[in-house]
Amino acid sequence: MLLLSACNGDSQLQQRASQEKKDLDKLITHAQNIGVPNSLLKPIIAQENALSQTNEPISLFSAQPDNDYQQNLAKSYKRLLVQVRGLETQETQQTTYQASKDLQVFGDVLGQYQARNFVEAKTFADQLAHDQTLMAQGQYPKQFLQISSDAEDGTLALHLMGSTYDKYTSLQNALQQIQKSNLDTTAFDEQAQNDLQLFRKAKNSSDFSSLSQQLDAQMQGLTTLTTQAIPYVGAAKLQSFSDIIEQMKKAAIDVQPYQQRFDADKTALNSATSLNDYMTFSAQVDKDIEATRIPLLQGQATQLLQHFHQMVKDWGDTHQWLDPYDGKSYRLGYEYDQQGIGSDADAFLQAAQTPDDYQAVIDLANHDIYNLQQMEADSQDTTPWDQVHATDTNLLQYYKVTTGQVIVVSLAEQALRLYQDGHLVKAFLITSGQYEKPSLPGFWGIIDRESPTKFVSSAPKGSAFWYPDTKINYAMGYHSDGYFLHDSWWRVDYGPHTNFPHHDSGGDDSFAGTGSHGCINMQKDDAGWLYNNTSYNTSVIIY
């Protein structure tokens, strides 16, 4: 009996191994519940099962082998538990990052449709605000995955909203053309009214997709039931084709191939004698008009961007800052040049493929042009920096944000003004991005809030833009890729021309003697006040 008792092993070690297994099982269940994919947990579960199927060694003379077995078993369970914790952390970080990116894309696309005066975009603005609130409260991967899913569906729904509205407009245009032939379109008019109601009530991609299919069917039925109006519709289509060719000429596009197609379509319409002839003509002219859509938008976008770049160049040529600190001249409005938002617009144009892509470039170029015009006007305004500026009011109206909170940053004045429902609340002097790393003009929103946090340089040590790990007390992200409004406790001086090389009265010119790396720098107390009096989804206009 003494011999058997000696060989049973240490019961405490057995209990420890058993407890480690229970802790591991509990953590695996927790990981599954918070949304860690089973595909990531499967290898760990398999290893745990394999450990569970092993048996302790049998020895008649010593308990040591069994003790070693129990110790190793406990360590193995502990190691797997650490791996599960690592997976939870990894998946939370990845889903958080992805959700933030998806919300940024959602917000950018939403801004495009708000700029196009889509009243229906308000539904998605509310959805974005809700998702951003969930983002601020989220803790687990499944929550961030749901936010990503909502944001992706919202983005898709917005794109479908645009194409569905185009189809609705086409149906309305067809009805108008058919009405010219004195045909009764009462039934189709009623359908179109119902379509409009459905469009205004649509809340997700499924709603718009269903309505889009319904519009396709209605257009097909309209074409089938009104064949006698085809000659009139055909003449209208030719006129539309001719108008497009004129627009292409204005956009400096070679119209010869499109003019040839127009002449061929006109001949086909004039020689049509049967329903089949008219239908063939109609299909061909629709195809020819559709073929002009992307080239026309591309030409308009290219021409508009060229105009924008020329405006930036003209302003920079005639308005420069002669820096008394280094004796160099710096072109004003550099934030709109190639080192700033100008290269982004060019990149969007180069990447554009669809009509929506090119329309987005046109919208962006128009926004950039308007912002630049307001910056130019503001630079000539003698109104004190801590009072309402006419250009601020213009921008609030332009972006339709006369209600709610809006942060307005004047690059010309190096000043920030917070508005509530169009009324000035508070103003601060700031320092924006330096000549090589400008802050980004545009209409943005607060997408991240961190207090405190630590900024880590993405540039390698020794490069011109490297900086040591830096504690930041209050940071409000306004754009992806690390653009923040934040305190810069290492600076003393803020305001006009501090974005250019200068001597900071604090004595540290190595980091304080020029502008930021694209962020909007503020005094600590000012940044703290702004952080505590704004929130996620606060609009930001930089111009």
Q: How many helices (H) and strands (E) does the chain have?
A: 16, 13
Range of weakest confidence among 43-57, 204-218, 266-280, 464-478: 266-280
Say if CB 202 and CB 157 are below 8 A apart: yes
pLDDT digits (tens, 9 = 90+) for 89-106: 999 999 999 999 999 999
- The dotted CATH code for 382-542 is 2.40.440.10
Handedness of CA 528, 529, 535, 538 (dihedral sign): negative
Residue 250 has pLDDT above 90, yes or no: yes
C-alpha–C-alpha distance, residues 202 and 34, integer Å: 31
Residue ranges of the alpha helices (H) in 254-381?
256-271, 275-318, 341-351, 355-379
φ, ψ at 285 (rounded to 5°): -70, -35
Residue 500 has a pLDDT of: 97
Residue 404 has pLDDT above 80, yes or no: yes
pLDDT band at residue 282 using 50, 70 and 90 as cut-offs:
confident
Residue 4 has pLDDT above 50, yes or no: no
pLDDT band at residue 433 using 50, 70 and 90 as cut-offs:
very high
DSSP3 helix / strand / coil % (the chain, rounded to 5): 60, 10, 30
pLDDT digits (tens, 9 = 90+) for 172-192: 887 876 665 556 788 888 998
Residue 174 has a pLDDT of: 77
Residue 324 has pLDDT above 60, yes or no: yes
Q: Give the residue-averaged pLDDT of 226-251.
A: 85
pLDDT digits (tens, 9 = 90+) for 111-155: 998 988 888 889 999 999 999 999 999 999 999 999 999 999 999
Domain boundaries, given as residue ranges, for the chain: 1-225, 242-380, 382-542
Top mean-pLDDT range of 465-469, 470-474, 507-511: 470-474
Range of weakest confidence among 179-183, 396-400, 442-446: 179-183
pLDDT band at residue 1 using 50, 70 and 90 as cut-offs:
very low
Residue 2 has pLDDT above 80, yes or no: no
Q: What tokens were used for 66?
A: 């069994």
Could you tell me which residue, 186 or 453, shows the higher pLDDT? Answer: 453
**Axis crossing angle, helix 355-379 with helix 390-398, rounded to the nearest 10:** 170
C-alpha–C-alpha distance, residues 421 and 8, integer Å: 78
Residue 59 has a pLDDT of: 54
pLDDT digits (tens, 9 = 90+) for 203-234: 899 999 999 999 999 888 877 776 666 677 78
Residue 508 has a pLDDT of: 84
Residue 167 has a pLDDT of: 92
Q: Give the residue-averaged pLDDT of 4-12.
A: 59
Q: How many CB atoms lie within 10 A of CB 1?
A: 5
Residue 182 has a pLDDT of: 53
Q: What tokens were used for 369?
A: 């042009």
pLDDT digits (tens, 9 = 90+) for 42-85: 999 999 999 888 887 655 445 567 788 889 988 999 999 999 99
pLDDT digits (tens, 9 = 90+) for 293-314: 999 999 999 999 999 999 999 9
Q: Give the residue-averaged pLDDT of 420-449.
A: 97
C-alpha–C-alpha distance, residues 506 and 390, integer Å: 34
CB environment 366-383: b (16+ within 10 A), e (fewer)? ebbbebbebbbebbebee
Residue 28 has pLDDT above 70, yes or no: yes
